[in-house]
Each structure stands twice: as structure tokens, then as C-alpha cells.
Amino acid sequence: MTTVTTKITKAGGSRSMPFDRERLYTFIDEVTADIRIPSYIDQYKEKVMKTIEAKEQFSAEEITQLLLLTAAENNDVDMPEWTYAATKIFLKDLYKKAAYNRSYDAEQKYGSYYGLQKRLGQLGIYDPTILRDYTREEIEEASSFIDPEKDHLLTYAGLRTLNDRYLAKGFDGKEVYELPQERWLTIALTLMSQEDRSKRMGLVKEAYWALSNLYMTVATPTLANAGKKAGQLSSCFIDTVDDSLQGIYDSNTDIANVSKYGGGVGVYIGKVRAANSDIRGYKNTSSGVVPWIRQINNTAVSVDQLGTRAGAVAVYLDVWHADIFEFLDLRLNNGDERKRAHDVFTGVTLPDVFMEAVEARGDWYLFDPHEVRKVFGWSLEDSYDEEKGNGTFRERYEQCVQSNELTSRKKVNAIDVMKRIMQSQLETGTPYMFYRDEVNRMNANKHEGIIYSSNLCTEIMQNMSETVVIEQIQDNGEILVRKKPGDFVVCNLSSVNLGRAVRADVLPRLIPIQVRMLDNVININQLPVVQAQMTNHKYRAIGLGTFGWHHLLAQNHIAWDDPEAEKLADQVYEDIAYRTIQASADLAIEKGAYPAFPGSEWENGRYFERHGYFDQDEDTSFAGNDHWKELAGQVRENGIRNGYLMAVAPNSSTALIAGSTQGIDPFFGASYVEEKKDYRVTVTAPDIDGENYKYYEKNAFQQDQFASIRHNAARQKHVDQSQSFNLYVPASIKAKTLLDLHLTAWKSGLKTTYYVRSSKVDIRECEWCQS
């Protein structure tokens, strides 16, 4: 047998020592203690030893990587325990490296948290918030909350993702300083830093409990940036572009600033005049929305998100806009490249009357929004149908149809527009679908405005308006430039891990601390766009969502297409909605209601009636709904802290960290391979075993998509905003079937659909709404 020498490198020098087989075997026995079949451990030892014996020399780092990757390769649906063996190996390595960089004994696992704050503060990686706002005694008390055993809740894929993307490191991006439990504690301390000192440490402990047990996750920007100098904490923003040269360029600047600091952006461009519209009375001079979208596209590419990735922008346009066909072709890979914008995502806003025309195979009319404003004095996009089948939008739309003054009016077949939408979806995954009438009917703050579109991931529904620039010449000859700020939407996101929190029955304890954490993001966050900061405080909007829906179904032995899934969705999301509203109402008593509360449907109780929790015209509530009536009374009397409350984000990366299934989507089968730049790892369905295997067996493209719509409809009744809901379709899907899916989604009361994920299309995802 070849003598093997392991080179061990320590700070300040290196030395070699003989390879110790027994020491290695002892280590393997320790990390594989949970592997059920002893012969698998023997095979693992044999495979590792053969690799070691094939070389004369190994470094300690190489042996660690060999142990790690061999354990990760063993992970499969038959032996999912191997992921936790790999976790233990990776943790040992992280503990050793952190101890070396922070000068403490690795056997402790975790060193001084106060020392970590000082060290990373000196390096300029942490901001001074925690050291400034907490005493040393408080920080040391907080460090006593850390439970290193919670590290073992992480799967290898989850730990690897957390380490590679989110843990604070040295400036080279490789030096290990912060460990997993310290990330959770740093988030907790940051979000509770402005709470009353008399109860602050108890709130920090609760927030750490929620995060460390993986009962919830925070949004990617909060996970990545809390306690650090770079970036901000909110996920997504939505801007409305004014129909003026100054407004267009100002919006582009705002988009650049938001993207620079790590936010994804949704942009409503439906107010901008169409191609061949007039400019200052000169006819046929406008080039339409496409050149401006290309400019936004260039901004998304040029202004990256803190050097980590290109900016992410979604642009929305109304289906009646005269430029709709050019808009739908923006991301196609053929045609005139001068009319393409491949780096933005697209969304189309759809009124009920259009979907009715599609179903009836009727006519549809296109208009220039600028000409509509000139002729009628109102904007078509500023209205919606207040009731199903009846309302202001269809009345105004019909006026436009009948008007002889609208020279831009063009008649097309509604089904032809829909065909172009579906063609683009099957080739590119977009456009997203935004059902604007249902969105605005269910808007609790319609007294303050209208919702034109959604964000990058289609789950945010909040009031929007354009910012208008006003120039005035002063008596002294100076030009005073003022802005009338519009509602620039901000999304603050966090998600419940259904697969862990529901099973553990912790929702009554979890949701109050989660809502408080989200509300505190609003106060702590410094946003790069002033009107975004103003809107954030006006509505104090949050987006409490969920992930792990498929995980929860499998735990309950419910098949995806079983009607019991719809019942479970109704029950679980009503419970979450009730607890979220209650938590925000309690916060309002403590801290005050959001400024736009007066006149809202929260105040007059219409919100609760619209969602079917009770009928205000009845003297008595429906059976079992007394608690809703009591809650509505509390809200009416004392207000609610947050004007928007629930939104279900896609959260694939954070769901991976938490060891569950992403969002509300079906899993990708019993297992799949996660490919990264320098490694690949098999991810098995969470908690998979012989009893629940059949509930994961089908991959996402094999699951009944009509069942997915029914799940969504059941939960949408309780979600005041919307959901990042993907349709998974085979590349061979018939146009009639895809059309039927869209019509069913619209009729079921869904507000949006996200990507149409064809089995042949590779979609570049946005990560900033992941929570």
C-alpha cells in the first residue's frame, strides 16, 4: 500500500504528517451516525480510501472536499439521510475556517458574536447598526440565544446555498467569518433595533427562534444585506412611467438607482403614447413604447445589482394599447433586432371585456392612450369594472369603440391577440397575465388610487401612479423644478415554511413576530428613490407569503389533483390570513395605523365582506365566523398597521435553504440535480420516504395544471394581493388547452399568472422576490 501523507496548512506555515486511517474512520462514523444501512457506510469508506490511496499526497482541504462530494453523491430518494451527512462535513469545515479567521478554538464551533461584530465592522463589511443601537451586554445576551445544533436542520444544498450567497465573508468572497446561526441572529438584531428597549431582547429572541428553526425565511435582499453595509432590504419596486420625455427619463433614472441597490423593478408603461401618435400637435411623430422599453432593457443590463447580476425588470402594457403586437414580440428570437428587448420580462394587463371577447371569438379594438386623453379628457387605464360584467372600464372602452374622433382605433380579432400572447409564452415564458378588473375590485385601498400592473414576480398588487415634473420660472429668473410624487410601490417580503411550521403547529406564535419583522423593515430601510420611501410609509405594505405547499400536501398524503388539496388550501390560508390581519391590527394599537387607513375597505369593513368572512347586511354572522366579525370590529375601531398584507412570492433559493419545496409550485419530481459553477448536488424531495414517495413521483410538467388553478383559487380568497403562480406545460401542448388554462384561471378569480414554463424553454429567473 502506498504511504499517504496529508499536508496540513496552518496560519504562518505548513507541515506534513502521516495519513491516519483510523482517525478518518472515526470522523466518518461520526458524520454518518444517522445512515440507516451500515453497509452503505462501509461502501462510502471504501470509495474514499481508494481515492486517497491512488495519490501519494493530499492536502487536508482536498480530503475534506473528497468526503463532502462523495457523501453528496450518495444522496438519493432511497437514502436522503446522506444530505445531512454532507451537511455535517461541510459544517466542520466552516467551523474550522471561521475559528482560524476569528482566532478561537474550532471545538467551540461558534466564537464571540460581539467579536464578530467588531471584526467585520472594522473590515467595513458590517454596518454599525448593531454596535450602535445595542450595548455590549445586550449583544452578549443575544449571543446566548445561538444554538449550534440548529445548523443540522439544514440540508447540504441549503447550507451550501446559504454559505455561497448570503453569509458575510471577507472582501475576497472566500474568507469565512459569519456562520449560519450568526446570520439569523444578525437579521433578528437588525430588524428589532428600533423596538422599545424594555421588550427588545425578547423580540430578538423570538425572531431568532423563527429563523433558526426554519419556520420562515426573509426575502433575499434582507437575507443578504441585513446588518451589512451594502444594499437595502426590500425585494421589488413598481414604477409608473409618465407620458412625457422628462417622465420617461426620470423613471429610467429611478429604475437604475433601485437596481443599483439590489431591487427588482416592475414598470407600467401603458400611459406612454403609441407609435405614430402626435407630439405637440405634430402628427405621426411618436415612435411608441418599444424604443423606451429598449432603453429600460439597456439600463437593466448596464446597472447591475451590486456587481452580482444584471438588473431585473418587468414591463407591463395594456392589451388595448395600439403597440401591443410589437410589445408581444419584444423577447422573440427572430425578426428585427432593433425591435427586440431580450433582457426585460413582459406582462400584459387584461380587462374582463377582453377575456370575454376571446371566449366569444369576438372583435377587439386598439387605441393610442394619448389620443384617448385628448378626445375624452380621461384615461382609459384609470378605470376598471367595479362589478363583474358591469363597470366604468367597459363603458369607457365602448365609448372609444364608437368614437369617430379616434383615428388610432384599430379593429382586430381578440383571439389573434391571445394567440400572439400564447406564442410568446411558449417561446419565452412570458408575458405574465395581469387580470386588472379583479385586482382592482379586491383592492382594499381603492379610495387612494388604482393598480395598473404588478411587479417582477406578479405577486404584488398595490396602488400606483406616475410622478409628474413641474417647472416654474421664478421672479429672479431661476427655474424651479418640482415633482408631484406618485405612488412608487415597494415590496417587503417574508414567507412561512408550510412544511415545517404547519406540522409543528407554531403559526399562532410565528405570524405575530413575522409581521413585526416585516413592518420594521419599512422603518429601517433607506430607499434610493424618494417617492418609494414616501409610498412605503403611506401604505406600510408588507407581503407575508408561503412556500412548501407541495411539501405540506405530501406530509398529509394528499395527491396534487385530490379535491382534498383545495380544502386544505382554503383552511390553511384562511388561518394564515386571520393571524396576519390580527397581528397587524394588534401592531396598530401599539404603533398606529398606516396613514392611508381612513376611507379604506379595512376601515369600513368591506374587505372582510368581499372575502366572504361575513355579510355586513346580516345581524348575525355565518356559523363559525364570529372571530372574523370581532377582528373586523377591532380593525374598524383601532386601525390596521399595514395597508397590504399577504403576497405569495416564488422563493426558490430560500425554500432550498429551508429544506422545502418552492412557493406554491409542484416539486420537480422525487429528486433533481442542482447545477452550480463548481459543483453539482442532488436535491431530494423534502422528508421523502416510502410512504410519501408517490406524492412526489410526478414532476411539475406531469401534474394536473387545472388542479393547480383550483389550489390557487382556493387560497386567493384569503390573499389580499396575489401569488407567483407558474403554469407548467409540455412543449407539445395544444393551443386550445393552453387557452383553456388561461380562461379557467381568469374565471376562477385569479389575479395573475407568472411564467408559462414549457418543458423546452430555459427561463432566467428573478431572485429578488424570493423570501
| Residue 514 and residue 589 share a domain | yes
* Tens of pLDDT, residues 91-133: 999 999 999 999 999 889 999 999 999 999 999 999 999 999 9
Interior CA angle at 573 toward 630 and 312, to 5°? 120
* 110 belongs to a structural domain: yes
543 with 597, same domain: the answer is yes
What is the CATH classification number for the domain harbouring 291? 3.20.70.20
Q: Does residue 315 sit within a domain?
A: yes
Spatial distance between the Cα atoms of 299 and 23, rounded to a whole number of angstroms: 56
Domain housing 70: 1-74
What confidence score (pLDDT) does residue 263 get? Answer: 78
- Last-in-domain residue among 441, 459, 484: 484
List pLDDT tens digits, range 481-506. Answer: 788 999 999 989 999 999 999 999 99
Q: Which among 468, 484, 500 is the end of a domain?
A: 484
**Digit-coded pLDDT (tens) for 418-466:** 999 999 999 999 999 999 999 999 999 999 999 999 999 999 999 999 9
Across the chain, mean pLDDT equals 92
Say if residue 441 is in the same domain as residue 493. no
Indicate if the pLDDT at residue 139 is higher than 50: yes
Q: Is 457 a catalytic residue?
A: yes
Cα dist. 208→61, 134, 142, 189, 576 in Å?
A: 32, 16, 9, 9, 20
Res 125: pLDDT:
94
- Cα(100)–Cα(93) distance, integer angstroms: 11
User: Is 459 among the catalytic positions?
Assistant: yes
**Which has the closest alpha carbon to 704: 547, 573, 559?**
559
Closest by Cα among 369, 384, 345 to 289: 369
Q: DSSP letter for 96, please.
A: H
Query: Do 132 and 54 share a structural domain?
Result: no
Q: What is the pTM of this model?
A: 0.94
Instruction: Provide the pLDDT confidence category of residue 646 given band limits of 50, 70 and 90.
Output: very high
Lowest mean pLDDT among 187-201, 245-259, 754-768: 754-768
One of 75, 297, 445, 457 is an active-site residue; which one? Answer: 457
To which H or E segment does residue 282 belong?
none
CA pair distance 599, 760, nearest whole angstrom: 49
Q: Compute the distance between CA of residue 468 and CA of residue 409 in angstroms, rounded to an integer.
A: 27
pLDDT at 375: 97
Q: Identify the active-site residue in 225, 252, 297, 455.
A: 455
Residue-level pLDDT at 621: 40
Q: Which residues pair with 379 in a beta bridge?
A: none
Residue 495 lies in a domain: yes
The amino acid that residue 767 corresponds to is E
Same domain, 331 and 442: yes
Express each pLDDT in 242-271 by its tens digit. Answer: 999 999 999 999 999 988 877 789 999 999
* Mean pLDDT value of segment 523-536: 93
pLDDT at res. 766? 56
Rounded mean pLDDT, 67-79: 93
- pLDDT above 60 (res 771): no
> How confident is residue 166, by pLDDT bands cut at 50, 70 and 90?
very high
Give the strand pairing for 671-675 and 345-350.
unpaired
Residue finishing a domain among 440, 461, 484: 484
Q: For the residues 564-569, what does the mean pLDDT come to? A: 98
Q: Model confidence at 307, in pLDDT bands (50, 70, 90)?
A: low
Which segments within 522-679 are labelled E, that is strand? 543-547, 671-675
Residue of 459, 566, 601, 603 marked active site: 459
The pLDDT value recorded for residue 476 is 79
Judged against a pLDDT cut of 70, whether residue 769 lies above it is answered with no
Q: What is the DSSP string of 429-483?
A: S--EEEEHHHHHHT-TTGGG-B-----TTS-----B---EEEEEE-TTSPEEEEE
By mean pLDDT, which of 48-62, 318-332, 526-540, 737-751 is the weakest? Answer: 48-62
**Whether 455 is catalytic:** yes
Report which of 580, 493, 492 is spatially closest to residue 537, judged by C-alpha positions.
Answer: 492
pLDDT value of residue 85:
97
Angle made by CA atoms 167, 173, 175, in degrees to the nearest 5:
80
Q: Identify whether 356 is part of a domain.
A: no
Number of domains within the chain: 4
Same domain, 480 and 499: no
Range name among 183-197, 673-687, 720-734 with the lowest pLDDT average:
673-687
Tell whether 58 and 175 lie within a shared domain: no
Percentage, residues of the chain above pLDDT 70: 94
Q: Looking at the structure, tell me whether residues 457 and 578 fall in a common domain.
A: no
What pLDDT, in 10s, does the model give residues 13-36? 456 777 788 999 999 999 999 999
Cell of 633: 370590529
